[in-house]
């Protein structure tokens, strides 16, 4: 099937704000500048003490950059002007990643090329996505019943932000556009959390009142950048005020990463999604060479170490590739595989999003529906991820590849 021609929708790329900053925040300066964004309350308090300032000034900075989403030092008006100037003269800046370009889909999805402070010089970007109303992939794991939405939440409904963890990716899944970039570098904790804060700022989201889900499903393999990924989660929980129960991290099945993840305290542990993507090891290792290192059984064994919350489920993501993973027999195999794990699992089906240079085909809508129905009839909770932002190249890594490639 690898020799099949790729079928790309005849779609038009709509680019808004081309080439100019989407926000008023300054372009992060290269070289020698030190970002405050990424430091937690403790680190900022320590910094203040080092500068012979009262340590509670650290709290004020935390409040300003993570809660009020101030993007420039000069705007942290709770600090005396002299202190702001002193910080600036020592090379400190807020240094939050900047939404450099915005692409808006007709369905409301927004996709951003985000420029990170550390890479301002090279114009290196990652992708972040805002999906109002989500893509339904995050629903149905039972957590909604823990806290029913308040009236305010219902009025605003919900949104999902898809976050990148690396520039490019080393894992080399054959159907994925990010893989084509190779791994360029890891993002820091501040660069990961900063994507979220920049998007919250753009949409004026009231954290705590309005419902926002995070999915770490953008560019990169979070579990191959584990410390920075978990550092970002801790910042987002502690300083930004988001709940880990509304966050889902997706991994291609990096077993040592899953094992470390299982050790994380529940107050900082997002939910877990595994990119299964195939009904058996034979097909999976063709699509995901990483399967030769850690096969399905090894991944499932590691997943068993995660102590799930009441009603929490593990998500298996499953990309449907025409002729390769979307056959009726495959659905039966997936249902048996899910049952064998004995884990509370739900399956998120994703129709493969095409992209330049990848020789797979999108599944027929009939095949997608038949696959969903087959799994459901076997009693497997199954959800279909709605394709979002097709007109702006919504699949992971697609926008960056399309613009730059």
Residues that bind ligand SAH (CB under 6 A): 175-177, 217, 221, 250-252, 275, 277, 317, 319, 350, 352-353, 355, 395-396
- Cβ-based nearer residue to ligand SAH, 244 or 257: 257
- Cβ-based nearer residue to ligand SAH, 76 or 224: 224
In the window 156-215, what residues touch ligand SF4 (CB under 6 A)? 169, 171-173, 176, 178-179
* Residue 187 Cβ vs ligand SF4, minimum distance, rounded to whole Å: 13
Residue 334's binding partner among ligand SF4, ligand SAH, none (Cβ under 5 to 8 angstroms by kind) is: none
Task: Output the CA torsion sign for 5, 6, 9, 13.
Answer: negative
The distance of Cα 310 from the centroid of its chain, to the nearest Å, equals 24
Helix, strand, coil abundance in the chain, percent, nearest 5? 40, 20, 45
Residue 395's binding partner among ligand SF4, ligand SAH, none (Cβ under 5 to 8 angstroms by kind) is: ligand SAH
Residue 179's binding partner among ligand SF4, ligand SAH, none (Cβ under 5 to 8 angstroms by kind) is: ligand SF4
- Cβ-based nearer residue to ligand SAH, 201 or 262: 262
Residue 394's binding partner among ligand SAH, ligand SF4, none (Cβ under 5 to 8 angstroms by kind) is: none
Kindly state the DSSP code that residue 292 receives in the 8-state scheme: G
- Cβ-based nearer residue to ligand SAH, 175 or 383: 175
* Residue 293 Cβ vs ligand SF4, minimum distance, rounded to whole Å: 12
Task: Output the CA torsion sign for 245, 316, 166, 128.
Answer: negative
- Cβ-based nearer residue to ligand SAH, 119 or 251: 251
- The pair phi, psi for residue 256, each rounded to 5°, is -60, -30
Residue 245's binding partner among ligand SF4, ligand SAH, none (Cβ under 5 to 8 angstroms by kind) is: none
* Residue 353 Cβ vs ligand SAH, minimum distance, rounded to whole Å: 4
Query: What's the CA gap between 362 and 6, in Å, rounded?
Result: 8
Query: What's the CA gap between 99 and 117, in Å, rounded?
Result: 11
The distance of Cα 218 from the centroid of its chain, to the nearest Å, equals 4
Sorted by sequence, the CB contacts under 8 Å of residue 77 that are 6+ apart come out as none
How is residue 244 written in tokens?
A: 């880990």
- Owner of token pair 């060479």: 289
Residue 70's binding partner among ligand SF4, ligand SAH, none (Cβ under 5 to 8 angstroms by kind) is: none
The distance of Cα 187 from the centroid of its chain, to the nearest Å, equals 12
- Of the residues 116, 162, 169, 396, only one is catalytic, namely 396
Let me know if 127 is a catalytic residue: yes
Kindly state the DSSP code that residue 32 receives in the 8-state scheme: S
Q: By CB under 6 A, tell whether 110 contacts ligand SF4.
A: no
How is residue 397 written in tokens?
A: 């890594």
**Residue in 201, 215, 208 with CA at minimum distance from that of residue 161:** 215
In the window 338-397, what residues touch ligand SF4 (CB under 6 A)? 396
Query: What's the CA gap between 308 and 72, in Å, rounded?
Result: 40
Q: Which string of x and - marks every residue 267-306 that binds ligand SF4 (by CB under 6 A)?
A: --------x-------------------------------
* Residue 110 Cβ vs ligand SAH, minimum distance, rounded to whole Å: 18
Using CB atoms within 10 Å of the CB of residue 284, give its burial: 0 to 12 exposed, 13 to 18 middle, 19+ buried: buried
* Residue 295 Cβ vs ligand SF4, minimum distance, rounded to whole Å: 16
* Residue 99 Cβ vs ligand SAH, minimum distance, rounded to whole Å: 20
Residue 350's binding partner among ligand SF4, ligand SAH, none (Cβ under 5 to 8 angstroms by kind) is: ligand SAH
- Of the residues 93, 110, 127, 312, only one is catalytic, namely 127
Could you give the count of Cα atoms lying within 13 Å of 377 in the half-sphere of its Cβ? 9
Let me know if 169 is a catalytic residue: no
| Count of other CB atoms within 10 angstroms of residue 267 | 11
Residues 329 and 364: beta-carbon distance below 8 Å: no
Task: Output the CA torsion sign for 311, 244, 209, 101.
Answer: negative
Residues serving a catalytic function are: 127, 396
Interface contacts to ligand SF4, rule CB under 6 A: 169, 171-173, 176, 178-179, 220-221, 252, 275, 396
């Amino acid at each position: 099937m690898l020799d099949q021609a790729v079928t790309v929708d005849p779609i038009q790329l709509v680019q808004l704000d081309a080439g100019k900053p989407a926000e008023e925040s300054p372009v992060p300066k290269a070289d020698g500048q030190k970002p405050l964004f990424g430091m937690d309350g403790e680190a900022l308090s320590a910094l203040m003490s080092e500068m012979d300032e009262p340590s509670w000034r650290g709290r004020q900075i935390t409040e300003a950059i993570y809660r009020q989403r101030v993007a420039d030092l000069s705007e942290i008006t709770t600090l005396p002007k002299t202190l702001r100037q002193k910080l600036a003269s020592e090379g400190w800046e807020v240094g939050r990643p900047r939404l450099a370009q915005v692409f808006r889909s007709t369905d409301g999805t927004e996709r951003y090329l985000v420029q990170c402070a550390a890479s301002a010089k090279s114009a290196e970007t990652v992708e972040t996505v805002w999906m109002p109303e989500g893509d339904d992939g995050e629903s149905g794991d039972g957590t909604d019943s823990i806290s029913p939405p308040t009236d305010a939440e219902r009025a605003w409904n919900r949104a999902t932000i898809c976050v990148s963890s690396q520039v490019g990716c080393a894992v080399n899944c054959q159907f994925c556009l990010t893989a084509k970039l190779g791994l360029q570098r890891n993002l820091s904790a501040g660069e990961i959390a900063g994507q979220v804060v920049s998007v919250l700022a753009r949409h004026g989201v009231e954290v705590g009142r309005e419902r926002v889900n995070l999915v770490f499903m953008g560019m990169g393999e979070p579990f191959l950048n584990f410390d920075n990924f978990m550092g970002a989660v801790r910042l987002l929980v502690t300083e930004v005020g988001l709940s880990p129960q509304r966050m889902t991290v997706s991994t291609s099945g990096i077993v040592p990463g899953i094992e470390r993840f299982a050790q994380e305290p529940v107050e900082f542990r997002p939910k877990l999604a595994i990119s299964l993507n195939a009904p058996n090891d034979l097909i999976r290792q063709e699509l995901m060479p990483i399967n030769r290192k850690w096969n399905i059984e090894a991944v499932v064994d590691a997943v068993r170490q995660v102590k799930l919350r009441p009603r929490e489920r593990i998500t298996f993501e499953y990309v449907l590739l025409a002729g390769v993973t979307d056959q009726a027999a495959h659905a039966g195999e997936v249902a048996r595989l899910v049952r064998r794990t004995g884990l509370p699992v739900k399956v998120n089906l994703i129709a493969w999003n095409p992209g330049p240079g990848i020789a797979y085909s999108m599944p027929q809508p009939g095949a997608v529906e038949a696959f969903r129905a087959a799994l459901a009839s076997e009693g497997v909770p199954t959800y279909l991820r709605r394709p979002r932002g097709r007109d702006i190249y919504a699949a992971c890594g697609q926008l960056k590849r399309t613009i730059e490639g």
